């Protein structure tokens, strides 16, 4: 908001939709939200990702249809507030692995939101923070033809390679010992892009409906 400080300071200031979307409050505790997408009701529990918040999660996992795991892809060069020695994206990968391998969650699928794609794009194109300096495996990473020629083909190749590398680090975890009802569905997201989120939640709606049908052996 620094570039809008004069506007925000006015007595008659009213936040725009983008202003509201770009506000961030550190999640502490459990927040319950209900909303509808194309006549399908969602009942969501938002839980904090900080280490001291995680012990509260288990009470949310009873009878859930799916887990939405949100990872900030642009944090590949950042460290945790509570532990300056730990890389944020590596922490996300470790947390994802602990959830994926949890024996109580073996029948629950994960919808993976690879978030902050706008900030990731800015960092990669700026060239100041090189992904391979934080994840050495990136230096030898080869983009799959299906990614290079698929829905991402209009984006800058260096950005596509970076975002697909990060996605594949999560998929590498989810591909190990995968029961039939334990799937991972990755999505590239930008939380401040309302159209992107609208499309993603339509996909989530379809995924969750299929999960319900599979749960009751209707497919």
Number of domains in the chain: 1
Looking at residue 145, which CATH number applies to its domain? 3.40.50.300
- What global pTM score does this model have? 0.82
| pLDDT, average across residues 181-199 | 87
Query: Which residues participate in the annotated binding site for GTP?
Result: 21-27, 46-50, 115-118, 191
Query: Which residues participate in the annotated binding site?
Result: 21-27, 46-50, 115-118, 191
Query: Which residues participate in the annotated binding site for Mg(2+)?
Result: 27
Confidence of residue 131 (pLDDT cuts 50, 70, 90): very high
CB neighbour list of residue 8: distance below 8 Å, 6 or more residues apart: 1
Domain of residue 192 covers: 2-215
What tens digit of pLDDT does each residue of 87-119 get? 999 999 999 998 899 888 888 889 999 999 999
Confidence of residue 217 (pLDDT cuts 50, 70, 90): low
CB neighbour list of residue 80: distance below 8 Å, 6 or more residues apart: 51, 86, 88, 91
């Amino acid at each position: 908001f620094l570039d809008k400080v004069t506007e925000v300071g006015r007595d008659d200031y009213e936040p725009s939709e983008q202003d509201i979307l770009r506000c961030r409050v550190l999640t502490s505790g459990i927040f319950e939200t209900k909303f509808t997408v194309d006549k399908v009701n969602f009942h969501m529990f938002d839980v904090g990702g900080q280490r001291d918040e995680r012990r509260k999660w288990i009470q949310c996992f009873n009878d859930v249809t799916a887990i939405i795991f949100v990872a900030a892809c642009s944090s590949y060069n950042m460290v945790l507030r509570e532990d300056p020695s730990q890389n944020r994206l590596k922490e996300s990968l470790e947390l994802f692995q602990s959830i994926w391998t949890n024996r109580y969650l073996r029948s629950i699928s994960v919808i993976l939101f690879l978030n902050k794609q706008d900030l990731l794009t800015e960092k990669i194109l700026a060239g100041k923070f090189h992904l391979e300096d934080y994840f050495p495996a990136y230096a030898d990473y080869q983009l799959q033809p299906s990614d290079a020629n698929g829905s991402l083909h209009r984006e800058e190749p260096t950005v596509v390679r970076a975002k697909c590398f990060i996605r594949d680090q999560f998929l590498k975890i989810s591909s190990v010992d995968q029961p039939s009802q334990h799937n991972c569905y990755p999505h590239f997201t930008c939380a401040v892009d309302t159209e992107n989120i609208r499309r993603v939640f339509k996909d989530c709606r379809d995924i969750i409906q299929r999960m319900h049908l599979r749960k009751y052996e209707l497919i």
